[in-house]
Amino acid sequence: MNSAPLVASPVSKSDSDPVKSPAVQAMILASGRPMPLDSGAVLGPFTLAYETYGLLNDSKTNAILVCHALTGDQYAASAHPLTGRPGWWSTLIGPGKPVDTDRYFVICTNVIGGCMGSSGPRELNPATGQPWGLNFPVITIADMVRAQVLLLDALGIDKLFAVLGGSMGGMQALEWATSYPERVFAAIPIATAARHSSQNIAFHEVGRQAIMADPDWAAGSYHTAGRNPSRGLAVARMAAHVTYLSETALHRKFGRNLQDRIAVTYGFDADFQVESYLRHQGSTFVDRFDANSYLYITRAMDYFDLAAEHGGQLANAFASSPVRFLLVSFTSDWLFPTPESRAIVKALTAGSASVSFVEIETDKGHDAFLLDEPELFRIVKGFLDGCAEQYGLAARSTAQQADRKAARPRRGIRADLKLIADMVRPGSRALDVGSGDGSLLEHLVHDKDVDGRGLELDPDGVHLSLAHGLAVIQGDANTDLAEYADGAFDYVILSKTLQAMRDPRAVLEHLLRIGHHAVVSFENYGHWRTRLSLMLRGRSPIDRERAYRWWESYNIHPCTIADFLDLTKALDIEIEETVVLGPVGRVVKSVRPKSLANLFGEQAVFLLKRRRQTT
């Protein structure tokens, strides 16, 4: 590991019962060794302020690094020394909470460039004894992570169990997972992007220009000059704050409500509550944040571009990544909108990495990751639980183990899914499209050693799968199959879903583009009962399993076995095997089903292969 002189020294320590409520430790890492930066400059010696929560286990395998966003700091789960308010992620991190400090050792650092104790433009330049101001070197997200790596070295932690963060914290998590993949087991980048978008650079530039337009900024040397560009910084914060929310959230919170008045005043006071709120956000921010730090940290975000770091291809960044990823985005986040997360998911998928993804429905905007969002908590907890089991992290107490067992009994598998599973070669790579609660996937992974992935629309199914340690992407087979690379899997499975697709032909084409084989099952619309219903009763048949009427059927493109064969012919698909389930569970296996199968078969399962290789 690193042999540089590193000193991790306690700043203060407050704990009650270290077992029931693990110690909160506020520490500073003082690195005597200069650290080279992306800019070519060298920073050193430097300091890194951090807090830890919980206890590091003997094997040092239970460490989770939490990374903060633009205006956050190391006070993730303890009261902020300046504002007195609870830590910014104290809802997520703590004993018994999703990031459980009874189980994990949680570390949170103030990024370099920040203003809460780590080296940054407000701190003294050791060379001059004066505040750095604009002489502080411009830093990048990678530089922030480099400093964190040195801290881990000092703490003797070889590998993080997990790294997680939202927004700029998510950028750090991505940087960790791609630059130090061997030192991270699992990564949870939330509400983030692999590169800062043009629009986000534009908003940052507005904020920087607001600060620099303030005469009190004094070309960055306001500390020396005894001034403070508080008006400019407040405007920057106000502009940024609007982007953290959503129109719906603002409408719900404030609408056009007036502030302590019954009519507008026909003037420029804060008539509206939203104006008053924004002004408050601006004026309180300047009490806790440094204007130059704002410049430096926004710049680091602007410069972040993971693809550019890896030859222009985002997929390269994740090639053969051993890290398990969970990406989370929020529907109303327009600063880091879902397509940004999906781009990362796509790149990870192309690189065959293990990735789960959930888009959470909320109107809270970008800020949702900081708020009390039960869905986020449930997902993070489920994913961490699943990963902990795979990483061999024991639950802390036997009570927890019992809880866990009760919550996650090993599940059985339906007979028709068993037929599908039988067609999949052990040890292969498989994608289950419409993976539901993950029971087929779990069977494939645990009993057939398959490297399995899922795609599922229903959030509950995704959550359940994550909690079982499965890698599942929340998405719609109608639209999201295009995200998968050619030949990424040995098998792609579509179970009782084809008829519910808007474009069954396109879906089938995708299955055989993505997989070398496809396994497709459906209910046979050519069954004699269906035929008789239409022939004699003049009525569309009622779905037997679910008793749906014609107007509520999810099968919007019903097909018979003969119909399906027509489609495979039209697409020049080779049928390798067919299994038809007849009455009283009778199973007929063949390569190509006969017309009797179309009359008596209730369900059919096909193993398919591309006749010609897609180039």
138 counts as binding a copy of itself under rule CB under 8 A = yes
Which residue type, as a one-letter code, is found at position 311?
A: G
Cβ atoms within 10 Å, residue 531: 15
CA atoms within 13 A on the CB side of 464: 19
Q: What is the DSSP string of 203-224?
A: HHHHHHHHHHHSGGGGGGTHHH
SS3 of residue 17 by DSSP: coil
Dihedral, CA atoms, 94, 334, 236, 91, nearest 10 degrees?
A: -10
Nearer of residues 127 and 263 to a copy of itself, judged by Cβ: 263
231 counts as binding a copy of itself under rule CB under 8 A = yes
**Which member of 94, 114, 133, 137 binds a copy of itself (CB under 8 A)?**
137
Nearer of residues 19 and 225 to a copy of itself, judged by Cβ: 225
Which residue type, as a one-letter code, is found at position 455?
A: L
For the CB of residue 276, give the shortest distance to a copy of itself in the complex, in Å. Answer: 9
Q: Which of 31, 78, 119, 167 is catalytic?
A: 167
Beta pairing, strands 35-36 & 42-43 = antiparallel
For the CB of residue 409, give the shortest distance to a copy of itself in the complex, in Å. Answer: 37
255 counts as binding a copy of itself under rule CB under 8 A = yes
What is the C-alpha separation between 25 and 14, in angstroms, rounded? 7
In terms of Cα–Cα distance, which of 49, 13, 12 is closest to 29? 49
For the CB of residue 55, give the shortest distance to a copy of itself in the complex, in Å. Answer: 40
Across 83-121, b (16+ Cβ under 10 Å) vs e yields eeeebbbbbbbbeebbbbbbbbbbbbbbbbbbbbbbbbb
SS3 of residue 186 by DSSP: strand
- Residues 545-584 within binding reach of a copy of itself (CB under 8 A): 549-553, 556-563, 566-567, 570
Which range binds a copy of itself by CB under 8 A, 183-191, 209-217, 368-376, 385-393? 209-217
Phi and psi, residue 54, nearest 5°:
85, -175
Which range binds a copy of itself by CB under 8 A, 79-87, 111-119, 300-308, 413-421? 300-308
Q: Which of 223, 366, 443, 463 is catalytic?
A: 366
Question: DSSP state, 91?
Answer: T
What is the C-alpha separation between 336 and 196, in angstroms, rounded? 9
- Residues 481-540 within binding reach of a copy of itself (CB under 8 A): 503-505, 525-526, 530-532, 534-535, 537-540
Contact 35, 43 (CB under 8 A): yes
What is the C-alpha separation between 395 and 197, in angstroms, rounded? 41
Six-digit token string for 389: 């089991």
Nearer of residues 201 and 319 to a copy of itself, judged by Cβ: 201
Q: What is the DSSP string of 538-561?
A: -SPPPPTTT---TTT-S-SS---H
For the CB of residue 234, give the shortest distance to a copy of itself in the complex, in Å. Answer: 7
- 94 Cβ neighbours under 8 A, 6+ residues apart: 53, 77, 100, 101
227 counts as binding a copy of itself under rule CB under 8 A = no
303 counts as binding a copy of itself under rule CB under 8 A = yes
305 is annotated as an active-site residue: no
595 counts as binding a copy of itself under rule CB under 8 A = yes
For the CB of residue 298, give the shortest distance to a copy of itself in the complex, in Å. Answer: 10
User: Which residues are registered as beta bridge partners of 184?
Assistant: 160
**Which member of 274, 360, 380, 518 binds a copy of itself (CB under 8 A)?**
274
Ramachandran class of 301: left when φ > 0, alpha when ψ lies in -120 to 50, beta otherwise: alpha
For the CB of residue 210, give the shortest distance to a copy of itself in the complex, in Å. Answer: 5
What is the C-alpha separation between 332 and 197, in angstroms, rounded? 17
User: Which residues are registered as beta bridge partners of 94?
Assistant: 100
- Residues 596-615 within binding reach of a copy of itself (CB under 8 A): 598-599
In terms of Cα–Cα distance, which of 580, 577, 596 is closest to 588? 580
Which range binds a copy of itself by CB under 8 A, 200-208, 392-400, 423-431, 510-518? 200-208
Contact 2, 183 (CB under 8 A): no
Which range binds a copy of itself by CB under 8 A, 34-42, 162-170, 172-180, 346-354? 34-42
Q: Which of 102, 153, 302, 333 is catalytic?
A: 333
202 counts as binding a copy of itself under rule CB under 8 A = yes
Q: Please report which helix (H) or strand (E) contains residue 164, including its range.
A: strand 160-166
Contact 455, 517 (CB under 8 A): no
Contact 556, 497 (CB under 8 A): no
Which range binds a copy of itself by CB under 8 A, 25-33, 234-242, 379-387, 407-415? 234-242
147 counts as binding a copy of itself under rule CB under 8 A = no
Which range binds a copy of itself by CB under 8 A, 50-58, 190-198, 427-435, 486-494? 190-198
Nearer of residues 428 and 495 to a copy of itself, judged by Cβ: 495
239 counts as binding a copy of itself under rule CB under 8 A = yes
- Residues 163-182 within binding reach of a copy of itself (CB under 8 A): none
Which range binds a copy of itself by CB under 8 A, 101-109, 168-176, 213-221, 416-424? 213-221
What is the C-alpha separation between 1 and 510, in angstroms, rounded? 46
Contact 172, 163 (CB under 8 A): yes
Question: DSSP state, 337?
Answer: -
For the CB of residue 527, give the shortest distance to a copy of itself in the complex, in Å. Answer: 9
- Residues 307-326 within binding reach of a copy of itself (CB under 8 A): 308
Number of residues that bind a copy of itself (CB under 8 A): 93
For the CB of residue 175, give the shortest distance to a copy of itself in the complex, in Å. Answer: 16
278 counts as binding a copy of itself under rule CB under 8 A = yes
Six-digit token string for 329: 């985005």
- Residues 337-366 within binding reach of a copy of itself (CB under 8 A): 337
167 is annotated as an active-site residue: yes
Owner of token pair 């809460």: 116
**Which member of 55, 242, 319, 485 binds a copy of itself (CB under 8 A)?**
242
Nearer of residues 337 and 515 to a copy of itself, judged by Cβ: 337
Which range binds a copy of itself by CB under 8 A, 105-113, 248-256, 348-356, 448-456? 248-256
Nearer of residues 299 and 324 to a copy of itself, judged by Cβ: 299
Cβ atoms within 10 Å, residue 81: 13
**Which member of 30, 41, 315, 319 binds a copy of itself (CB under 8 A)?**
41
For the CB of residue 456, give the shortest distance to a copy of itself in the complex, in Å. Answer: 20
For the CB of residue 170, give the shortest distance to a copy of itself in the complex, in Å. Answer: 18
Q: What is the largest CA-CA distance in the chain?
A: 96
Nearer of residues 344 and 470 to a copy of itself, judged by Cβ: 344
Active site residues: 167, 333, 366
